[in-house]
Amino acid sequence: MTDHPPMRSFGRIKSRPIKPRQAALMDTLLPRIRIPDGTIELSALAPGAAEVWLEIGFGGGEHMAAQAARRPDVLILGAEPFLNGVASALRHLDERGLENVRLHAGDVRELLSRLPDASLARIFILFPDPWPKARHHKRRLIQADLLAELARVLAPGGRLRFASDWADYVDWTLERALRTPGLSWTAQRADDFRRPPADHVTTRYEEKRLGDCAPVFLDFVKA
């Protein structure tokens, strides 16, 4: 397992006041489902889970909660530094009564550094901040070192899904992922990346179409 310094989070950690109900869940539910510090024993987090998935930057938690509801046999880890997003996700988990999600309210690289090799079956990175200005590209989540870490924690046959509605970020990600040892792009034809995958869950953020192109979905598999 490789040690990495924590990656600086360039996004907003908190913007608007957290609603009272969500604030209460931050005090009650989050401590119960927070991923503990130190070495992570995945079997202890969810004994009997068929697989372990990770969503990086889960936003408001809609996609994560929907996937967890579909697959109660899977343990889903979620990482998000934006506290309003964490609070929103807690509401979704509480309303659905989901017990198979564990959260890291912080930078995902700190979490990745504590995960065992080949421990994840799926990773989702959906519509991350594109940082479209060239001088800000160094702030993008997708970088060579992060992709190397994702390849390390993916099990053979495991899948990484990246989605964006910014054309330059799609090209940026594809270029770097194809240079990452162990990752292979699964697309065989244009519809494989132009159409949402069958198991995709559309969120309110995605529906806003804030980017400069239609959503693109890149799926990679670990060799």
Q: What residues are labeled active site? A: 129
Q: At what angle do helices 20-33 and 83-96 cross, to 10 degrees?
A: 80
DSSP states of the chain: ----PPPPP-S-S--SPPPHHHHHHHHHHHHHHBPPSSS--HHHHSTT-SEEEEEES-TTSHHHHHHHHH-TTEEEEEE---HHHHHHHHHHHHHHT--SEEEE-S-HHHHHTTSPTT-EEEEEEES-----SGGGGGG-S--HHHHHHHHHHEEEEEEEEEEES-HHHHHHHHHHHHTSTTEEE--SSTHHHHSPPTT----HHHHT--SSSS-EEEEEEE-
Handedness of CA 204, 205, 210, 213 (dihedral sign): negative
